[in-house]
């Protein structure tokens, strides 16, 4: 095989359809050794046929109270104002309160909904309408009870910073199906940003191409997407044409295929300049869809982000994660959680419903939940709860999840899980399973060790699989 | 449940099944080993140091001890592990033996573990992994073309190419070479003048001269210091949720300076790990220990500070493992290392070396400030000497004063109250043995902490609140604000008889006294709480005036504020309760700012409460240290001690008012300085325990400091402390230290290390591509006094390095990663240098070295919720400061600077010794559209018009050379001319706004060179923008 540099380059150019081979020599997926020619974002097949092709994770940062929303505890109401049993607190650490604080009864009414008869509080009237499409897990448990470590654990499988996020693991495993949008997109809404910061969607020790890209609900959806002042589309196109020609000339001289990748990156950037604003233009949605979500074009909100999540998935984005940080009700529980549910309930339900009516729910997994739960004990006067890692609730829908079930139980106070415990690692194992991965085999060699999202833990939860 | 079930079953079968028959090792046992164990405990791998295919080694056992105890299966770890008995992981990993196999093994051991000689391999020792044997200098091999060889690196490289039947590439042309070596050594491209000078220089050592020039440049330290800063996980904020600003740039500057003065790497490591323990450590040596303190700090509400101190400890060991040892050690935090011979106990022995330090925060001063300080102290001393000179009897008078103040101090009974969990606002009050409490963790800006204690003391007349220093407070405290100050808004006490705790009376105070009473001062803007109230600090009366706006303040100004203070509160009527008294203290601290997520607290840092029964108790006006010195007889005091006593006493002497006023005025000139997080040894050592599964709540066996047995031993006679540990790391016999560093240097030149897994040279690492180069460089490095510059010189002057980087088609297919080095390296430069090149090409670059981090333009929303957790400060730098090199860009861990993150800069959460190198559309968007790149394009355009030559062809050549160093080809010139013409014509048209593209503020356009038009400048801006976006511009060729 005797080729001139420019021939090699051309061949490269043909083979390369996406982004960077910079992250070379790094592919250890499924034992296939990476070649320099590997585009790290080329679409890949998982270990077995997936149930879910996409995932939308509605991350409720700050930790919503399971006791006010999902996990009805009449006994907690009965024992309101009394101290919890002493042996329940043995070895228990709380973030702010003395664990030996009085119990606080649930603040809202519960009822059963749908054919499945799932129990939900009055805070969730919209979710109640799609309750037969979702699967509620009341038996979640985690290891951390401070926000940043808890969020990092939920998002990366470790309380220690520096590990890849679930979204980056999935992107590493599946690659990208979108030619003009990133494979892993993140949005933020609510009162604050997530406590875990950028590391919640970071790539850790995985190549940086796998990290999440933040999209914003107003202004430029992606940083530096718009042409700078004085540059119109024609000048941008002319400039890109020149850049391409000059890069091509250099490619012919040096033969370095990395230049071909650079040419592609610029072309994809240009495409993104058109596709991302189009994606963000919610005004294009019919009125009834906007109303269904409660979305208002141009006014950033969680509802807008939910609608955008659907649009992203439609355009081939694999992993969409919405951060909504608003749930840390140490005080003002009643007022704040009510408002949070007004802000989110309708859009969450609409997302499930909308995906379903478009036939997308079957291969799109929706996950809802925060980093931990809240104490059955009161914090402050009578209107707040502290952080609680032992038990909390999440729900999932679509993408191979068995619909209309409620899994797991907590004790009479909602303090500990007593049946079908699902640890964060088990949740991760299950999500990977739905995406077609054996969580034990989706590994990456770093520091002489094969790392995985679930580290040395995790069991798939079979009851959740359809 | 399931586990117990299996265990019982296995045991049951072992006990009752198949009892009588004699087992045959080769027939019954060895096949089990071969099928299920050899994979990890055979010829290829010896996990846990155990090998089961050799009789000698199987009986020798592994890290967990003897695996086979003949005739005693129950005590044999081999049996225990396959049967799932005990805490250790059950073997084989990933699949259990069946009950019958387990029974067979048990029976075989119980029957005496007969292993016929000759069964299995004859190996009698486990081969030591190459990286754990200290490097020896290999002899340079014979090569096909000795004339190509500049130094032994080339011999090794060429010998390998010879073997592969390959040829090295020709040397790169001079322009390419100078640009390559400039980018490599200083991270900046050469100027046109530098290129011209080098091309013209016909002397024999023209290239070596350039290398010397570059190694002497102050930018060398910036370039190579940045690599170390990745490993040192440097960032300007705390990380976690609050991610507050921290001041640690003094450490960053220390690193840069250390590289520039070529501080031997051994000393470089020693100072970073234990500079504070060196004899009479300098400020710099203390600052160096910031390396260990670059760990993240979690001060979100409700944290247990000890938990996150432990996380920081794990992080430190991880950083040492990656950056110095080049061995993965953090696995052993939870269990014995599976692949390398490191036990969990050994991990905690290393841990023990580091566990005896304060998380200290000290003031630091720049060289200028240090000069100001010594000048100031000299002048104060002169005035004091002058006073003494003019009053020859001062010693007698001082003795008389001493006699007078020495006695009469009331006796104080220290209280150890319980702190109410809700009232603390999330701040933890950590009690110490002396009864003091240290405020740690979350720092609310407003809270009123409640403390309760029962006492049997009768006739209580007054309470004392002492504010104490602590190394763990900002600048040593005694407060928790950034400057180590605090403010007491209100001091309140309630009392109740112990037998009637509900009947609470509020104690009224007749007076309050303090050893510092400052005039009323309006709060510093850093404590702005967004209210209209006039909030002030002032004398101690402000703490009992019932007003929320006033507080007792202790900020005596720079150089004087970080001292212990005390206040005494006298009860109107003495307190007595025959059954004892319950005292409830409220320390209201409401003088912080509006944002608890930022550094706006104004809390007390370390405090102690006590009570007295003495009548007329008042706060001792003498400073704590002076009071302590008085107990030393005058003739036994050091001169410094005498001077300290004098320095206080003179302030009480009315006739010296003028001198005192002058000195007080001088103190006002004391520099503010900045702070640095450092290590500081504790006097009261901590015990270190093995932590079960790395959980700090599960301490197990206590361990003493020590080092892993597979590495070099500790020196015999040295004290067992952090300093000795640091010296051990850089011992000549340390097998991995030098290799790890030279391997990373190689990686930074050639894009990939000799060992590609540069963070880990252990057994799981990839085999080195050229083991001899690695060892030769490591030995050279050590023998040349650990001089990093010496290694750089060896590498960049080698023929290997100087090869052209053009891709050879055949070779590419064969060696896509260029591991064989038949050509030179060609890679996109690192994130920081991508920006530095744009700034340098445009002429905007401000080459200033060091100083506080800067804030170049960034999108505002990033630093505000809901993008950021809390609102963060990002005040855009003005003037030259925005054009500083990218390594000075302020680094928030939770909100990485977007341009740097997009180009793969790590955010400093953890140690990073190998960056990713991606090539993405987001990078293209950044160089096309980010404001600093546009500013650079505009500046390059203007400069080109001003200086680029007489005609467009010359100007194009000039602009190209500023970006690429080389001259453009004819076709490149044609393409650029075409673009220039097209865009200039476009902007000459009506309805266009050339200034909008060509300048930041069209209302104030820059002066144009004579005869040029705004349209031309706009056209040139378009051309410059294209040049700054070329692959080659941001690539080292």
Look at residues B830, B813, B914, B337 and name the one whose alpha carbon lies nearest to residue A26: B914
Q: Residue B76 and residue B64: Cα distance in Å, rounded?
A: 10
Question: What sections of A112-201 are H helices per DSSP?
Answer: 125-129, 147-156, 166-174
Nearest to A439 by CA among A169, A167, A177, A171: A169
Angle value at C-alpha A31, between A30 and A35, nearest 5 degrees: 105
Mean pLDDT score, B165-176? 97
Q: What is the mean pLDDT of residues A260-265?
A: 93
Chain B residues closer than 8 Å to A329 by CB: none
Contacting residues of A for B969, CB less than 8 Å apart: 249
Please indicate if any CB of chain A lies within 8 Å of the CB of B747.
no
Same structural domain for residues A284 and A211?
no
Of the candidates B421, B995, B1029, which has its C-beta nearest A96's C-beta? B421
Rg (CA), chain A: 24
Could you list the beta-strand ranges (E) of B394-535. 413-415, 418-419, 427-431, 437-441, 447-455, 460-467, 487-488, 490-497, 505-506, 509-514, 521-522
Q: How far apart are CA B548 and CA B534, in angstroms?
A: 10
Cβ-based neighbour number of residue A32 at 10 Å: 10
Q: What does the angle CA A303 – CA A307 – CA A309 come to, to the nearest 5 degrees?
A: 110
Nearest to A254 among B240, B826, B924 (CB): B826
A182 and A244 in one domain?
A: no
State the pLDDT at residue B44. Answer: 75
Mean pLDDT score, A84-88 = 93
Q: Residue B516 CA to chain centroid, in angstroms?
A: 37
A106 and A89 fall within a common domain: yes
Cα–chain center distance at A69: 21
Q: How far is CA B29 from CA A27, B53, B120, B161, B929, in A?
A: 38, 11, 12, 48, 69
The DSSP call for residue A463 is G
Contact present, B295 and B314 (Cβ < 8 Å)? no
Interface check B340 vs A, CB under 8 A: yes
**Paired tokens of B230:** 């990745």
Q: Which of B311, B808, B898 sits opposite A223 (nearest CB)?
A: B898
A304 lies in some domain:
yes
Structure tokens, B511: 């007076």
Chain B residues 903-932 within an 8 A CB cutoff of chain A: 904, 907, 909-910, 916-926, 928-931
Between the alpha carbon of residue B1007 and those of residues B263, B846, B962, B999, B1017, the distances in Å are 47, 22, 22, 11, 11
Q: What percent of chain B is helix, strand and coil (3-state, nearest 5)?
A: 45, 15, 45
Q: What domain range is A237 assigned to?
A: 229-293
CATH of the domain at A90: 3.40.720.10
Tell whether A201 and A150 lie within a shared domain.
Answer: yes
pLDDT band at A457 (very low <50, low <70, confident <90, very high): very high
Compute the Cα dihedral for A399, A401, A404, A408 and give only its sign.
negative
Residue A226 at interface with chain B, using a CB cutoff of 8 Å = yes
Residue B226 has pLDDT above 90, yes or no: yes
Question: What is the number of domains present in chain A?
Answer: 2
The token pair at B649 is 């006493």
* Residue of chain B minimizing CA distance to A263: B1031
Taking each helix axis from N to C end, the angle separating A257-280 and A233-254, rounded to the nearest 10 degrees, works out to 160
User: Does residue A195 lie in a domain region?
Assistant: yes
Report the C-alpha gap between A134 and A352 in whole angstroms: 8
User: Looking at the domain assignment, is residue A241 inside a domain?
Assistant: yes
Distance (Å, whole) CA B272 – CA B725: 12
Is B869 in contact with A194 (Cβ distance < 8 A)? yes
Cα separation, B344 vs B334, in Å, equals 7
Claim to verify: residue A288 and residue A305 sit in the same structural domain: no
Chain A: closest CA distance from residue B796 (Å):
21
Return residues 324-383 of A near B (CB < 8 Å). Answer: 325, 330, 379-380
Confidence band for A38, pLDDT divided at 50, 70 and 90? low
- CA angle B749–B753–B754, rounded 5-degree value: 115
Instruction: Give the model's confidence band at A22: pLDDT under 50 very low, under 70 low, under 90 confident, else very high.
Output: very low
**Residues of chain A contacting residue B932, judged by C-beta atoms under 8 Å apart:** none
Residues from chain A contacting residue B694 (CB–CB below 8 Å): none
Give the mean pLDDT of B726-734.
97
Q: Which pLDDT tens digit goes with each residue over B627-652?
A: 999 999 988 999 999 999 999 999 99
A163 phi and psi angles, rounded to 5 deg: -95, 155
**Final residue in a domain of this structure, among A246, A266, A293:** A293
Average pLDDT, chain A: 91
- E strand or H helix at A57: strand A54-59
- Which of A246, A270, A293 marks a domain boundary? A293
Which residue ranges make up each domain of chain B? 2-127, 264-366+673-734, 367-407+630-672, 413-619, 931-1036
pLDDT confidence of A418, banded at 50, 70, 90?
Answer: very high
Partners of residue B930 in chain A, C-beta under 8 Å: 223-224
B765 near A CB under 8 A:
yes
Q: Is A256 on the interface with B (CB under 8 A)?
A: yes
Q: Are residues A329 and A390 in the same domain?
A: yes
- pLDDT band at residue A15 using 50, 70 and 90 as cut-offs: very low
What gap in Å lies between CA A107 and CA A383, rounded to an integer? 9
**pLDDT-wise least confident of B419-423, B553-557, B658-662, B834-838:** B419-423
CB within 8 Å: B422 and A379: yes
Chain-chain contact of B866 with A22 (C-beta, under 8 angstroms)? no
Residue in A98, A65, A58 with CA at minimum distance from that of residue A328: A65
Query: Is the minimum CB–CB distance between B971 and chain A shorter than 8 Å?
Result: yes
CB contact under 8 A, A95 and B919: no
The partner residue sitting opposite A3, judged by closest CB among B809, B859, B1030, is: B809
pLDDT at position A39 = 81
Residue A190, chain B, CB below 8 Å: the answer is yes
Nearest chain A Cα distance for residue B395, angstroms: 56
Percent of chain B with pLDDT over 70: 98
CB-based contact (8 Å) between A230 and chain B? yes
In what helix (H) or strand (E) does residue A5 lie, and over which residues does it extend? helix A5-15
Inter-chain touch B816–A96, beta carbons under 8 Å: no
- Which tokens hold the place of A105? 């009864």
**CB–CB of A448 and B339 under 8 A?**
yes
Same-domain pairing of A258 and A115: no
In a domain, A167, yes or no: yes
Does residue A30 surpass a pLDDT of 70? no
pLDDT at B8 over 50: no
B997 at the A interface (CB within 8 A)? yes
CA angle B331, B334, B336 (to 5 degrees): 65
- Interface touch B311/A160, C-beta < 8 Å: yes
Residue B233 carries which DSSP code? T
Q: Mind telling me how many Å the CA of B972 is from chain A's nearest CA?
A: 6
Distance separating alpha carbons of residues B823 and B154, to the nearest angstrom: 12
CA of B973 vs chain A CAs: smallest distance (Å): 10
Residue B264 tokens read as: 């031997």
Q: What is the DSSP letter of A51?
A: S
Mutate to test the interface with A, among B866, B870, B896, B982 (most CBs of A within 10 A): B866
Q: Nearest by CB to B817, which of A36, A95, A97? A: A36
Residue whose C-alpha is closest to residue B607's, from B575, B585, B583, B578: B585
Residues B334-352: what's their mean pLDDT?
A: 88
Disruptive mutation site among A16, A93, A256 for chain B (greatest number of B CBs within 10 Å): A256
Cβ pair A223:B925 closer than 8 A? yes
Name the pLDDT band for A35 (thresholds 50, 70, 90). Answer: very low
pLDDT at A115: 96
**For B328, which of A228, A262, A448 is closest by C-beta distance?**
A448
Percent of chain A with pLDDT over 70: 92
Mean pLDDT of A28-37: 33
User: What average pLDDT does this structure show over A350-370?
Assistant: 98
Residue A32 lies in a domain: no
CATH entry, B2-127, from 1.10.287, 1.10.760, 1.10.1200, 1.25.40: 1.10.760
Please report, for chain B, how many H helices and E strands are present, in that order: 36, 22
- A168 shares a domain with A113: yes
Q: Residue A7's pLDDT band (boundaries 50, 70, 90)?
A: low
- What distance in Å separates residue A63's CA from the closest CA in chain B? 14
Is the C-alpha dihedral spanning B715, B719, B720, B723 positive or negative?
negative
Q: Which of A20, A148, A198 sits opposite B298 (nearest CB)?
A: A148
Least confident of A131-135, B60-64, B391-395, B928-932: B60-64
Is B409 near chain A, with CB under 8 Å? no
Instruction: Please report the residues numbered 424 through 453 in chain A whose beta carbons come closer than 8 angstroms to any beta carbon of chain B.
Output: 445-449
Q: Are residues A286 and A308 in the same domain?
A: no
Most B CBs within 10 Å, among A246, A264, A331, A381, to test the B interface: A246
HEC profile for B848-900? CCCCCCECCCCCHHHHCCCCCCCCCCCCCCCHHHHHECHHHECCCCCCCCHHH
Token pair in block for residue B882: 């925005």
Partnered with residue A387 across adjacent β-strands are A374
Is B941's Cβ below 8 Å from some Cβ in A?
A: no
- Of B295-309, B740-754, B975-989, minimum mean pLDDT range: B295-309
* Nearest alpha carbon to residue A195 among B427, B890, B894: B894
Mutate to test the interface with B, among A165, A176, A229, A344 (most CBs of B within 10 A): A229
Phi, psi of A94 (to 5 degrees): -115, 160
d(CA B741, CA B795): 13
pLDDT at A451 over 70: yes
Over the stretch B872-881, which tens digit does the pLDDT of each residue have? 999 999 999 9
Per-residue exposure over B456-477, b if at least 16 CB sit within 10 Å of its own CB, e if not: ebeebbbbbbbbbbbbbbbbbb
pLDDT reading at A16 higher than 80:
no
Q: Kindly state whether residues A71 and A198 are assigned to the same domain.
A: yes
Tell me how far apart the alpha carbons of residues A228 and B491 are, in angstroms, rounded to a whole number. Answer: 57
| Cα first-last separation, chain B | 63
Q: Which tens digits make up the pLDDT trace of B119-169?
A: 887 777 778 899 999 999 999 999 999 999 999 999 999 999 999 999 999
Q: Phi and psi dihedrals of B532, rounded to 5?
A: -90, -5
Any idea what the Cα angle at residue B385 is, between residues B381 and B390, rounded to 5°?
A: 150
CB B653 within 8 A of CB B387: no
Give the model confidence (pLDDT) of B691-706 as tens digits. 998 899 999 999 999 9
What are A272-305's pLDDT values in tens digits? Answer: 999 999 999 999 999 999 999 999 999 999 999 9
Tens digit of pLDDT for each residue in B580-632? Answer: 999 999 999 999 999 888 889 999 999 999 999 999 999 999 999 999 999 99
Per-residue model confidence (pLDDT) at position B132: 95
Domain contains A31: no
CA distance B959 to B973: 11
Residues A316 and A385 occupy one common structural domain: yes
A332 with A460, same domain? yes
What pLDDT band is residue A21 in, cutting at 50, 70 and 90? very low
Whether the predicted pLDDT of A90 surpasses 60: yes
Q: Could you tell me the strand order of the sheet in which B581-589 lies?
A: B418-419, B447-455, B581-589, B490-497, B505-506
Question: How far apart are alpha carbons B78 and B992 in whole angstroms?
Answer: 83
Show contacts of B333-338: CB within 8 Å, 24+ apart. B333/B691, B333/B694, B334/B693, B334/B694, B335/B88, B335/B89, B335/B693, B336/B48, B336/B63, B336/B64, B338/A449, B338/B47, B338/B48
Q: How many CB pairs under 8 A join A and B?
A: 301
Give the range among A117-126, A208-217, B102-111, B137-146 with minimum mean pLDDT: B102-111
With 80 as the cut, is the pLDDT of residue A24 above it?
A: no
The dihedral region occupied by B367, where left means phi > 0, alpha psi between -120 and 50, and beta the remainder, is alpha
Percent of chain B clearing pLDDT 90 (strictly above): 81
B596 and chain A in contact, CB less than 8 A = no
**Consecutive H or E run containing A146:** none
For testing contact with chain A, the best of B922, B933, B937, B973 (most A CBs within 10 A): B922
| Chain A neighbors of B866, CB-CB under 8 A | 188-193, 323, 325
> Does residue A196 lie in a domain region?
yes
Residues 6+ apart with CB under 8 A from B266: B730, B786
Q: How far apart are the first and last CA of chain A?
A: 52
Instruction: Measure B750 CA to nearest chain A CA, in Å.
Output: 13
Pairing outcome for strands B521-522 and B536-538: antiparallel
DSSP letters spanning A421-437: -EEHHHHHHHHHHHTT-
Q: What's the pLDDT band for B20 if we cut at 50, 70, 90?
A: low
């Amino acid at each position: 095989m005797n080729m001139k540099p420019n021939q090699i380059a051309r061949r490269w150019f043909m083979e390369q359809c996406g982004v960077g081979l910079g992250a070379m020599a790094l592919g250890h997926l499924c034992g296939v050794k990476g070649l320099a020619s590997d585009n790290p974002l080329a679409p890949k097949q998982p270990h077995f046929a997936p149930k879910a092709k996409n995932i939308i994770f509605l991350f409720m940062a700050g930790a919503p109270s399971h006791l006010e929303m999902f996990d009805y505890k009449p006994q907690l109401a009965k024992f309101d104002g009394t101290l919890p049993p002493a042996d329940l607190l043995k070895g228990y650490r709380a973030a702010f309160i003395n664990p030996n604080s009085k119990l606080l009864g649930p603040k809202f009414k519960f009822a059963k909904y749908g054919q499945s008869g799932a129990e939900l509080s009055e805070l969730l009237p919209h979710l109640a309408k799609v309750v037969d499409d979702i699967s509620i897990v009341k038996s979640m448990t985690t290891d951390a009870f401070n926000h940043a470590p808890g969020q990092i654990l939920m998002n990366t499988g470790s309380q220690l910073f520096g590990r890849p996020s679930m979204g980056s693991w999935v992107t590493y495993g599946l690659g990208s199906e979108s030619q003009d949008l990133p494979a892993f997109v993140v949005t933020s809404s609510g009162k604050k940003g997530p406590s875990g910061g950028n590391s919640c969607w970071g790539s850790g020790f995985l190549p940086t191409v796998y990290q999440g890209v933040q999209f914003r609900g107003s202004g430029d959806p992606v940083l530096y997407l718009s042409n700078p002042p004085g540059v119109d589309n024609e000048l941008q196109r002319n400039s890109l044409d020149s850049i391409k020609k000059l890069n091509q000339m250099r490619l012919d001289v040096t033969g370095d295929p990395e230049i071909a990748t650079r040419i592609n990156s610029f072309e994809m950037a240009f495409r993104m300049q058109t596709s991302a604003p189009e994606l963000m233009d919610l005004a294009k949605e019919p009125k009834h869809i906007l109303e269904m979500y409660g979305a208002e074009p141009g006014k950033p909100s969680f509802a807008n982000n939910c609608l955008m999540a659907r649009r992203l998935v439609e355009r081939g984005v694999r992993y969409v994660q919405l951060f909504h940080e608003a749930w840390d009700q140490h005080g003002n529980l009643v007022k704040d959680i009510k408002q949070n549910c007004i802000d989110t309930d309708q859009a969450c339900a609409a997302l499930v419903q909308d995906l379903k009516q478009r036939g997308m729910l079957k291969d799109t997994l929706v996950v809802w939940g925060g980093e931990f739960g809240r104490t059955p004990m009161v914090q402050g006067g009578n209107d707040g709860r502290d952080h609680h890692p032992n038990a909390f609730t999440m729900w999932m829908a679509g993408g191979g999840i068995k619909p209309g079930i409620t899994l797991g139980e907590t004790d009479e106070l909602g303090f500990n899980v007593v049946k079908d415990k699902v640890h964060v690692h088990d949740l991760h194992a299950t999500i990977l399973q739905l995406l077609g991965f054996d969580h034990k085999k989706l590994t990456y060699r770093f520091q002489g060790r094969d790392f995985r999202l679930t580290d040395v833990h995790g069991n798939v939860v079979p009851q959740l699989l359809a | 449940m399931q586990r117990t079930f299996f265990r019982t079953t296995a045991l049951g079968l072992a006990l009752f099944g198949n009892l009588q028959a004699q087992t045959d090792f080769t027939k019954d046992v060895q096949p089990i080993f071969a099928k299920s164990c050899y994979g990890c405990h055979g010829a290829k791998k010896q996990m846990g140091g155990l090998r089961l295919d050799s009789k000698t080694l199987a009986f020798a056992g592994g890290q967990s001890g003897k695996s086979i105890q003949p005739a005693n299966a129950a005590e044999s770890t081999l049996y225990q592990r396959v049967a799932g008995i005990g805490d250790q992981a059950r073997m084989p990993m990933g699949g259990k033996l069946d009950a019958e196999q387990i029974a067979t093994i048990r029976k075989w051991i119980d029957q005496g573990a007969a292993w016929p000689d000759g069964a299995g391999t004859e190996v009698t020792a486990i081969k030591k992994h190459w990286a754990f044997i200290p490097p020896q200098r290999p002899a340079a091999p014979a090569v096909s073309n000795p004339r190509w060889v500049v130094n032994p690196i080339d011999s090794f490289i060429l010998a390998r190419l010879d073997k592969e039947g390959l040829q090295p590439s020709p040397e790169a042309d001079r322009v390419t070479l100078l640009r390559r070596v400039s980018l490599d050594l200083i991270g900046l491209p050469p100027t046109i003048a530098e290129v011209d000078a080098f091309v013209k220089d016909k002397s024999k050592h023209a290239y070596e001269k350039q290398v010397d020039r570059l190694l002497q440049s102050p930018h060398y330290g910036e370039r190579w210091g940045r690599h170390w800063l990745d490993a040192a996980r440097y960032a300007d904020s705390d990380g976690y949720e609050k991610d507050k600003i921290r001041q640690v740039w003094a450490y960053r500057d220390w690193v840069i300076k250390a590289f520039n003065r070529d501080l031997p790497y051994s000393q470089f490591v020693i100072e970073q790990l234990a500079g504070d323990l060196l004899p009479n450590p300098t400020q710099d040596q203390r600052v160096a220990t910031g390396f260990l303190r670059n760990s993240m700090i979690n001060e979100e509400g409700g944290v247990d500070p000890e938990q996150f101190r432990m996380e920081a400890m794990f992080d430190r060991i991880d950083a040492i493992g990656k950056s110095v040892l080049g061995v993965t050690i953090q696995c052993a935090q939870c269990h014995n290392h599976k692949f390398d011979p490191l036990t969990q106990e050994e991990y905690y022995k290393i841990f023990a070396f580091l566990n005896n330090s304060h998380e200290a925060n000290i003031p630091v001063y720049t060289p200028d400030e240090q000069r100001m300080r010594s000048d100031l102290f000299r002048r104060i001393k002169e005035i004091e000497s002058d006073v003494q000179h003019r009053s020859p009897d001062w010693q007698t008078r001082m003795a008389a004063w001493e006699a007078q103040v020495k006695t009469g101090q009331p006796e104080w009974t220290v209280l150890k109250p319980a702190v109410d969990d809700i009232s603390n606002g999330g701040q933890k009050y950590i009690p110490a043995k002396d009864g003091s409490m240290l405020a740690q963790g979350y720092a609310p800006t407003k809270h009123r902490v409640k403390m309760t204690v029962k006492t049997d003391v009768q006739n209580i007349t007054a309470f004392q609140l002492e504010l104490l220093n602590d190394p763990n407070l900002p600048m040593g405290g005694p407060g928790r604000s950034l400057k180590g100050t605090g403010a007491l808004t209100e001091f309140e006490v309630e009392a109740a008889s112990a037998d009637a705790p509900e009947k609470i009376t509020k104690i009224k105070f007749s007076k309050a006294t303090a050893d510092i009473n400052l005039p009323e001062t309006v709060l510093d803007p850093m404590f702005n709480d967004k209210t209209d109230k006039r909030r002030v600090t002032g004398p101690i009366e402000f703490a009992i005036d019932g007003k929320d706006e006033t507080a007792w303040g202790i900020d005596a100004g720079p150089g004087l504020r970080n001292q212990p203070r005390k206040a005494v509160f006298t009860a109107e009527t003495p307190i007595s309760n025959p059954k004892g008294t319950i005292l409830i203290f409220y320390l209201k601290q409401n003088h912080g700012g509006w944002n608890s997520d930022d550094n706006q607290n104004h809390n007390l840092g370390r405090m102690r409460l006590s009570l007295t029964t003495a009548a007329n108790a008042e706060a001792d006006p003498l400073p704590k240290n002076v009071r302590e010195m008085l107990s030393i007889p005058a003739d036994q005091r050091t001169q410094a001690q005498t001077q300290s006593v004098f320095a206080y006493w003179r302030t009480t002497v009315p006739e010296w008012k003028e001198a005192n006023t002058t000195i007080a005025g001088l103190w006002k000139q004391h520099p503010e300085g900045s702070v640095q997080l450092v290590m500081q040894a504790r006097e009261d050592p901590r015990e270190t325990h093995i932590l079960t599964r790395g959980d700090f709540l599960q301490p197990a066996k206590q361990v003493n400091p020590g080092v892993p047995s597979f590495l070099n031993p500790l020196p015999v006679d040295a004290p067992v402390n952090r300093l000795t540990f640091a010296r051990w790391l850089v011992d000549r016999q340390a097998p991995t230290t030098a290799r790890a560093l030279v391997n990373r240097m190689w990686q930074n030149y050639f894009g990939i290390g000799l060992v590609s897994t540069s963070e880990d040279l252990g057994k799981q690492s990839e085999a080195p591509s050229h083991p001899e180069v690695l060892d030769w460089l490591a030995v050279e490095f050590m023998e040349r006094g650990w001089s990093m510059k010496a290694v750089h010189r060896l590498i960049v002057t080698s023929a290997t390095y100087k090869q052209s980087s053009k891709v050879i088609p055949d070779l590419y297919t064969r060696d896509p990663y260029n591991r064989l080095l038949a050509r030179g390296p060609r890679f996109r430069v690192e994130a920081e240098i991508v920006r530095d090149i744009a700034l340098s090409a445009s002429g905007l670059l401000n080459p200033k070295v060091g100083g506080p981090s800067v804030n170049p333009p960034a999108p505002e929303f990033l630093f505000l919720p809901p993008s950021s957790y809390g609102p963060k400060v990002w005040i855009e730098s003005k003037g030259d400061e925005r054009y500083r090199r990218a390594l000075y860009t302020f680094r928030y861990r939770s909100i990485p600077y977007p341009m740097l993150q997009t180009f793969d800069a790590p955010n400093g959460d953890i140690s990073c010794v190998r960056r990713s190198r991606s090539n993405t559309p987001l990078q293209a968007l950044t160089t096309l559209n980010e404001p600093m790149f546009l500013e650079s394009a505009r500046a390059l355009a203007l400069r080109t018009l001003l200086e680029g030559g007489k005609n467009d062809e010359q100007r194009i050549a000039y602009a190209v050379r500023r970006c690429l160093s080389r001259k453009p080809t004819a076709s490149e010139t044609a393409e650029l001319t075409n673009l220039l013409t097209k865009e200039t014509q476009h902007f000459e048209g009506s309805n266009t706004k050339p200034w909008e593209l060509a300048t930041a503020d069209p209302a104030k356009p820059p002066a144009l060179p004579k005869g040029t038009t705004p349209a031309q400048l706009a056209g040139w801006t378009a051309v410059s923008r294209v040049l700054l976006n070329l692959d080659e511009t941001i690539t080292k060729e």
